[in-house]
Every structure is written in structure tokens, then in C-alpha cells.
Amino acid sequence: MLQTARKTASQPFNVFLYVDDDDPEKDNYPQSDDTVTRFDGPSVRTARSILFMLDRVQTPYFMLGADDIEFKTKDWDRTMLKAMPPDDMALISAYTTFKNSDGHFICSMRWHREIGLFPPDVFKHFGPDGWSIDVAKRAGRFIQLHDVIIEHNHFKNGKAENDLTYQRARKDGDAGKAMEYIQKTGHVRDALANKIKQIAEAHARFIDTQAPYGA
């Protein structure tokens, strides 16, 4: 993931990496350098580690990306950011070759500040990306770019080993629990989508007031 991201990006970027203390492969992950900031800590699972890292983001935008993906499109970063609307209230997704999972997207910190990327203390591994994408779709603010390609090297498509990391994510019925919660909380995402629409409308009104007289 890191090698292909560096090779194809149009400009420098930062990567936050959370590594579980009990990960048997932890010594094989990159150490911190000019691009990577590595956090080693207890196994808090994916959702909490994402929120932990989001608290430390100091850029206007961030991207969720798994460690088993490859960036295939030159200047993917510039292309995705160019698709972001002026109010920054959208999710910009690449096209993922395996199942088109949509889970690799760019989001703004404004989005996270205004509505939260996903609710805390609910999800473990599955759920955060599905929740966020559904909110964006309900608001009409999910933008997928089919010309930005990401290869997902997953064990289910025979391009990765079904290792302990994959297995742990799927134990205890985590996927089913996440889906059940999401199915019961559509009204919550409707409310968040309405807030996004209100923010977008307020932004548009503000831009209109800045137009030159007679424009």
C-alpha cells in the first residue's frame, strides 16, 4: 500500500499507522519516518484506532485505506481532492477492484467535526466505512471516481493469505452485529444527512453574498 501510494501520488502526504502490541507481524510494518507516523498500542480494534488517529490529524483532509490495497492510478490524490465540493462536505471514493467495497475514500476534517465520521463505542472492525458511506449517499454527497483504481488484495479473491488479522476481524459475529446496528439506525443517518444538506445550503448562500454586485 505505502509503496504504491508514494509511487503514484502527485504530492507528499502523511500516513498514520496503528499497530497492535500483540500483532505477530508488527516487526514487519514500517517504522516512523518522513511520511509515516506509527502508533503502537493495545489492540483496540479498527474503529477505535481510526478515531484515535483522527484526533491527531492536522490536515484539512484524510483518507481511509487498508494495508492490503495498491494504488493503480497516477495522481490519484490530486484527482480525488479536485472532486471535493467547495464546502468540503462529501466523501470521495476510488473504485476498488474487489467487490467495489467503496471503503477507500477521502473525507474532510470539517465533515468529521460537524457530524462525526461514525459513532464512537459502537463498531469494532466492521461498520465504520459502511456507516459513513450510507450517510453520504443519503445526503447526495457520495462521489465515486471510476477512473481512480485501487486494487484490493484480499484473501477472498485469492490475492492474500487468510492470516490471523483477517480471522480475528471475523470472529464473534462482528460483521453481523455491525449490520444489525446499521439496519436499526437509519433515522440517525437521515438526521446527519439533513445536517449535511443544511451546511451545504448555508455555504452556497454565503458564497452568493460574496459575489460582486450585478454578477
Structural domain harbouring 95: 60-209
In percent, the amount of the chain with pLDDT more than 90 equals: 74
Q: Which residue has the cell 477521502?
A: 106
At 34-67, the pLDDT tens digits run 999 999 999 999 999 999 999 999 999 999 988 8
Residue 128 lies in a domain: yes
Q: What is the predicted pLDDT for the residue at 33?
A: 95
At 123-139, the pLDDT tens digits run 998 899 999 999 999 99
Q: pLDDT tier at 171 (50, 70, 90 boundaries)?
A: confident
Q: How many domains does the chain have?
A: 1
**Contact indicator for 84, 108 with CB cutoff of 8 Å:** yes
Residue 21 lies in a domain: no
Residue 53 lies in a domain: no
Q: What is the predicted pLDDT for the residue at 215?
A: 46
Residue 17 lies in a domain: no
**Contact indicator for 91, 79 with CB cutoff of 8 Å:** no
Average pLDDT over residues 111-116: 98
DSSP string, 101-142: ----EEEEHHHHHHH-SS-TTT-SSSSHHHHHHHHHHHTT-E
Residue 55 lies in a domain: no
Tell me the helix, strand and coil percentages in the chain, rounded to 5.
Answer: 45, 20, 40
Residue 19 lies in a domain: no
Whole-number Å distance between alpha carbons of 39 and 18 = 5
